[in-house]
Structure formats: C-alpha cells, structure tokens
Chains A and B, each alone.
Chain A
Amino acid sequence: MNRNIKEHVRNSLKKGIRSDGRKPLEMRKITVDTGFISTAEGSARIKFGDAEVIAGVKMALEKPFPDTPEDGVLMVNSELLPISNPDFESGPPSNASIETARVIDRGIRESKTLDTKSLCVTRGEKVWTIAIDIVPLNYDGNLVDMGGLAAMIALKNAKYPLVKEDGSLDYHHKTEKRLVLKRIPIPVTVCKVGDVFLVDPTDSEENTIDARLTITVLEDDKICALQKGGDGSLTTEDIAKMIDIAIDVSKQIRKTFMEAD
C-alpha cells in the first residue's frame, strides 16, 4: 500500500472518519446465501458490503485418531486465494491464512459447538470427519469475522450424505439429517487506531491499525476464544472496552445466523 495513502487513512481513522462513510462501530451490510454448492454437504456465501467469502462443508467417514477413538474430527481450513486480492500470491498457505483458520477453529472447537462423541459410528474404527473450507472470493478485510460466520452457517446448512449398505458414502444423495450445533460462537474483531476503536475493517484499514483483538462470543455473552494481533499493544482498559464492543456487535451478526438456513 502506498505510504501516503496509508498515512491518510490512518490520520482519518484517528479522527473516526472512514473512507466509506461508516461510523467506527458500524458494520458493512451483511448478505447471506446458502446451499448453492451442489458438491458440498453444506455451503454459505457471506458478503460484508463488497467483500465476499464462501465456505463449504465436506463430510467423510474415516478412522479416528488413536488417542481419541470415539471422537469425530473437525477440520477448519482457510486459504487467502490470489483470485481475491492483488496482494495475495500463489503458493503454500501464508501465515495470515493459517492464523485465520486457527482462530475460527478455536471458537468452534472450544465452545464444543459440535459434540464430537455423537460423530462416532464405530469406536476406534469409523467416525465422521467434518471439514470446513473458507475461501475469500473478494478479499476486503475482516476475514476472521466473515469466515467465522460463513463456517457456522455452512455447518447449519449441511446435510449428511447417504451411507450405502457397504458402508461407503453416496455423495449424490443427501439425507435430511443435519448436524447438531450446541453453541453458536461468533468471532468479532475490534481494531484500535490511536484512541479510536473500530469494527469490520476493510483491507486498507487493516493495514494501518495499531492492534486488533478477535473475541469469539457465545449466545450468553461468554467468550470462547481470543486472539490479539497487530504490532501495537493493548491496556486492560482497552481490552474491557473491546469486549463490550464485541458483545454488542456479536448480537447483530448472530441475528443473520439465526435467519439463515
């Protein structure tokens, strides 16, 4: 990013002015679409303004890990595809994409959204593996919040494939059976520039902030995952404020989850 533009964006943000006219704590318009990918067991398309992310759920029957013989397996993966932004390059997953996937994964795993025991078919032999892949199509910031919502809606949308008599899967026939989601973790990333806090940063805003904190909020306002990022530091007062903001914003995002199918 051009240094002068960066400086300009930063100075404006410090005064609470955003280039798209939003207030610091205002989200972009959220739109949701589900079940549009025929080859996935579940799918979701999330747009925050023009930023677009898709998530797909694939299910398989596999051997469990030897140390957890009666637990199903959850896998969250994310790739910063070069199709979605001029700054992304082809190649092995970048550190940023691994962080994104791990923060989203942590929220879903630690909240015990999925009861892994209920995903066991035969102890030590066969369990369901649930793979969630999150990919931006048009990357314009805030991938953790968008991807976290996309992952949850794709899980909600997923239907088990048919298990044939020989135990193999018929991916062309979905059953009506859905995954049971016990909790709904919603990640919200709050950013700090100077003394200003803001949510839902765009690509160019992300490049100018001092620090960010992703707070994954549950339906009872409890927190199930945290990740501090950015080069700057945060005081405990900052963290308290950021948690309040995240809880507030999570309610808005949660509404879109409840309405999606």
Chain B
Amino acid sequence: MEKFVRPSKRKLDEARAVEAEAGVIKKADGSARFKIGDTEAYAAVYGPRELHPKFLQDPKTGVLRCNYNMLPFSGDGSRVRPGPSRRSKEISLVTEKALLPVIDLREYPNTVVDVFIELPQTDAGSRCAGICAAAIALADAGFIMRDMVAAVSVGSVRGTVVVDLDGAEEHMDENESTDVPVAMIPSTEEITLLQMDGIVAKNDLLNALELVKPALKLIAEKQREALRNRYKVKE
C-alpha cells in the first residue's frame, strides 16, 4: 500500500504546533489561551461562587459547570449562528467529565465553578483544545489538581492512524476518516474523554490509543510551561 502523506506534511504521530498561555483574561479568577495549529480556545474560570437556581446546589461539593461555545466567525464555512446548540451542549458535558477526575471541589459545598470556553477560530480538534485551555485555567485559578488534563484527537485517514487530525484530514474522502478525541491524565495515563466518529476495529483503536500517548504528554508539558511562565517558576 502506498504510504499516506499528510496534507500538512506532519509525521503520523506529530501534533500541530502548540501555543499555551495562562492568565490572559484579567477579570477572571483563572484563564488560559490554548492554540493548536489554527484551532484556538480561550478558557476562563469564575468561582467558586453561589449557584442559582438553588436546587442545583450540592451540600457535599462544589459543582463544575463548563460551557463550550464557538464564536460566530470561528467555523470552517459560513457564519455560525450564536447561542447554544445540541452539539455545544454535548461538548460542554463531556468537557466537564474530562476535567472532574483531577479536581476536588468538596471544600466548596453549595457553590459552582464556572468554566467558559470560547473558540475564536477552529480547524478540527476544538473540544480537545477547549479541554486543554480549561485545565490550565483551573490550575491558574488556584484549584488543587491531581494532575494536568491533556487532550488531542487520534484517528485514521485512508487507513493510516494519525495524531491530531486537522480540518483537511477530517474532511478527506467525504468525511470518511475516523476521529477519536482523547483526554488523558498524563502521570497515570488514565483516559477521561473518549468519543469516536467513524468505524474502527478493536485492535486498531487500542493501537491508536498507544500512539497518541506521547503527543498527549508533550501537550501536558506545554500546559505546565504556560503556568510556570505565568508565575515565573524555575524548573
């Protein structure tokens, strides 16, 4: 079989260039910007603060509430209509679940910790970029975390497994590619987000999950570096 060359000429297990920055939104309690290729996410954390309506409050713990939103000019084609969609609500939900395993809010009963994720531009992999930004923002806000959460997608394009699909790869052959967004706690290699679009055999999936680990650890390093730069911490 002919070897698959990625449109971006990247190596098969190579993620796009990453930029990460902490403390970018002064009004927030914690914030971050995370850019991977042409996909960019801002995240801001507000809280712990009072949760309304009251019946949503939990006397045992604070509640993590994430909100993922694509800005109107961030879409691949024409303008995205502002406001929540079924897609953005689902992504908000899985983002919460991706972050919860590293964070403990039992010290803040009856409160909410709001995480707002906004995407000014996207080129595939936006939920993963959002999770990466949110994890940095939570750390920047001073929450005690077990570890970072890093996220990136892995998938197969024309039968070849590749890391961090970009828009060109995702839309190749009438969207026939398989896309698996993954979030991982780097130190334990536990997976906190796993979704898939497409068709895959069990062994191929397990191989893909192995292939993506080094890229995830590299991303986690960039996230930690953003926090070190913000607080001027030396190695």
Contact = CB atoms under 8 A, between A and B. Distances in A.
Given A140-B26, A171-B77, A82 B114 contact: yes
A160 to B, nearest CB: 14
B interface secondary structure, majority: loop
Nearest to B120: A37
Contact of B123 (A38, A54, A82): A38
Interface of B: 24-28, 38, 42-44, 46, 49, 67, 69, 71-79, 82-83, 114, 116-118, 120-123
Interface string A107-139: 000000000000000000000000101010111
B114 to A, nearest CB: 7
A43 B38 CA distance: 14
A40 interface: yes
A203 B27 CA distance: 10
Contacts of B71: 54, 56, 133, 135
Given A50-B26, A60-B78, A137-B25, A83 B118 contact: yes
B118 A92 contact: no
Given A37-B73, A138-B25, A58 B120 contact: no
Contacts, number: 93
B28 A39 contact: no
A227 interface: no
Contacts of A82: 46, 67, 114, 116
Nearest to A40: B73
B120 to A, nearest CB: 5
Interface string A76-91: 0101011111100010
Given A38-B38, A92-B83, A81 B116 contact: yes
Contact of A135 (B25, B38, B76, B118): B118
Contacts of B43: 83
Contacts of A56: 71-74, 120
Given A40-B121, A56-B74, 9 more contacts: A39-B73, A56-B73, A60-B78, A77-B72, A83-B43, A83-B44, A83-B117, A83-B118, A137-B25
A86 B72 contact: no
Given A38-B123, A82-B114, A171 B72 contact: no
A82 B25 CA distance: 12
A249 interface: no
Contacts of A85: 27
